Every structure is written in C-alpha cells, then in structure tokens.
Amino acid sequence: MKKEKKLFKYTLYADFYRAYGKNISKKKIVLLILKLTGQGPKFIYYMRLANYLDKVKSKLIRRIVSFHFTRMSYKYGVEISYKTKIGEGLSIPHLQNIVIGENAVIGRNCTILQGTTIGSNLFKARYDLATIGDNVLMGAGCKIIGPVKIGDNVTIGANSVVTKDIPDNVVVAGSPAEIVAEKPAVKIGQDYKSFDEFADSGYKVF
C-alpha cells in the first residue's frame, strides 16, 4: 500500500474518531456520506478525499470530487481549500462563515468553530498566514490575522482577534487577543490509535 493511501486512511480514521469516538462504525460513515446529516464530518471527508486524489494525480475523479466539494463549500458557507495543510483529527462541529486561507498550516487534533477566519495582514505579507500547532481550539467568531505562530494546546476565546504569536498551553481572549490563563486546552476524542497501531490493524478505517 502506497504511503499516501496509508496516510489518507489514518487521517480519516482520526477525523471520524474525534467526531464519534468509539461509536465510529462503517454503517454510520456510509450514512453520513450519503445523507445531509453530520455536515461537519461530511465536509471534512470530501476535503480529505479531494486532497488525496490531488496528490495521487487522479485527474478525472479528482475533478468530480473537487467540484462536489466546491458545491458543498458554497452550500455550507465554508471556504477552506482542500490543499490547505491540516493535520489529522480535525473537528468542525458547526459549519457556516468559516474562511481559511490556503497557505495556513494547522496541526493535529484542532477544533474549528463557526465564524472562524484565518487571513492575512496586508501590511506585513499578503500570502503569509498563521501556523497553528496541535490541539488548538478556535472559538466561535475568532479571527487569526497572520503571519503569526500559535503554539500547542491553545484555546482561543470566542470573537477574539489574534494578531501576534501565542505560546503553548494558554487561553487567549479579547481584541486584540491577550493571555487570560495559563492552562492547556481540553483534549476531546484524542484517545485513538497511533499510526503504528493503526498500521498493525491493517489500515482498517472502521
């Protein structure tokens, strides 16, 4: 099995585990893909699929999937490129009004809530956006204006405006965002298998 396919399967497994925990099942995921329920996980699934197909150069199928993904983006009011670098374990519980620039980099086990924007500061750089660490919670309506670096285990409060670097293990809030507490973000649904454990299971998503 090629490396890209292995990583694709593991990423899907981690994403779905964060949404459903140990209750994840093949039947539930199939129903999710076919129906209109579970909009966040469904959106993530097609984003990951388009990204995978782009890497393996499957032109015709990629065009079909990316077209469908674009339609979903308009329907749900979410602007995230499938080419954006986002680690496994992504959670988007609620869609609508999410805008993330393609050059943003987002780590593992991050949670993006509705109304989040990750954009650029034109006074500094047009295309340099945020680099976000692992286990970062982006609260509803928050704005992250790059270029900035956000550490691991950070909680960004609702409607906060981040304009400067943030260290690990803190809570920030306000406009502009400032540190209001020194404690790591809560970890939800992150007790899934490591990549090596997943490989030992034969790369089975379900």
Q: Quick one: 107 and 162 in the same domain?
A: yes
Structural domain range at position 165? 97-187
Q: How confident is the model at residue 146 (pLDDT cuts 50, 70, 90)?
A: confident
Q: Quick one: 118 and 62 in the same domain?
A: no
In a domain, 203, yes or no: no
Report pLDDT for 205.
66
In a domain, 150, yes or no: yes
Catalytic residue among 28, 94, 149, 193: 94
Domain-ending residue, one of 58, 82, 106: 82
As a whole number of angstroms, the distance between CA 169 and CA 182 comes to 6
Q: Quick one: 101 and 181 in the same domain?
A: yes
Half-sphere exposure of 105 (CA within 13 A, CB side): 10
Q: Taking 60 as the threshold, does the pLDDT of residue 151 lie above it?
A: yes
Report pLDDT for 178.
97
The CATH number for 160's domain is 2.160.10.10
As a whole number of angstroms, the distance between CA 139 and CA 93 comes to 11
User: pTM to 2 decimals?
Assistant: 0.91
Q: Quick one: 110 and 66 in the same domain?
A: no
Q: Quick one: 131 and 158 in the same domain?
A: yes
- End-to-end Cα separation, the chain, in angstroms: 17
Instruction: Summarize the confidence of residues 103-112 as an average pLDDT.
Output: 97
Instruction: Summarize the confidence of residues 42-63 as an average pLDDT.
Output: 86
Q: Quick one: 68 and 110 in the same domain?
A: no
Report pLDDT for 7.
93
Q: Are 112 and 141 in contact (CB under 8 A)?
A: no
Report pLDDT for 139.
97
Domain count, the chain: 2
> Is 94 noted as a catalytic residue in this protein?
yes
